[in-house]
Amino acid sequence: MPGGLLQPIRRHISSRTTQNCWHGCSDVRHSCASDLILTLFLVVAHESSMEKALQTLNELEASGVIARYAIGGAVAAYFYAEAVMTEDLDAFVLFSKKTSGLLTLTPIYEFLKARGATEHREHLAIAGTLVQIIPAYDALTEDAVAQAVEKKVGRTSTRVMRAEHLIAIALKTGRPKDHAQIKQLLEQAQVDVNQLTDILQRHQLMERWEKLKATTS
């Protein structure tokens, strides 16, 4: 089954010839077969549900209610590294037209509810996947959505924020779990250092970056 969400499973299979597998086992003689089967089952089931949700988000964009969307947060990180998979999907959106007043999610919610979505606090449940619709809220997230890259989940195309933007957003947010995500992406993703530096400079994050490097070195 194609799709970026299965990459950690493939990495797991490869890791069985190394000293440590991706969930922490250290004995090269161990058998992770049962864990692998369970993990594969959960990921495939999650991917199937997510694929249907993404198809609905693609319809939302095609309708013109939004100009563009991209996956961010932990799910986006999962395309690049063995991040902790969460049950909810963060969909950052750009609106078709700039408005001088407050942005409202009402047209988005109406569109999605008409296609079976239901509200769960700050999320919408779409085809079994919890989705949080997040308007791009500053220049950095607008940039991240605009430059997001195309990925596949199953047979469905979607857009995912670049690893470099995920690092910059996590740096700006600044929680301990964000710093952990930065470390993981730097270790496992193919990060373009020049592009990352350009993003950090354009969004006035170099000072935070230097402080983070100083505390983790």
Q: What is the full per-residue pLDDT of the chain (217 aa) written as tens digits? A: 335 555 544 454 444 444 444 334 444 444 454 444 434 444 544 567 899 999 999 999 999 999 999 999 999 999 999 866 666 899 999 998 765 567 789 999 999 999 999 999 899 999 999 999 999 999 999 999 999 999 999 899 999 999 999 999 999 999 999 999 999 999 999 999 999 999 999 999 999 999 999 988 7
């350009």: which residue's tokens?
A: 198
Q: What is the DSSP letter of 33?
A: H
List all residues 6 or more positions away from 25 whose beta carbon is below 8 Å from its beta carbon: 32
Unique residue bearing structure tokens 């952990």: 180
- DSSP SS3 for 160: strand
Instruction: Assign 27 to helix, strand or coil.
Output: coil
The domains found in the chain, sorted by start residue, are 4-15+39-161 (3.30.460)
For the entire predicted model, the pTM comes to 0.79
Evaluate whether 72 touches 144 at the Cβ level (below 8 Å): yes
Tokens of 175: 């929680």
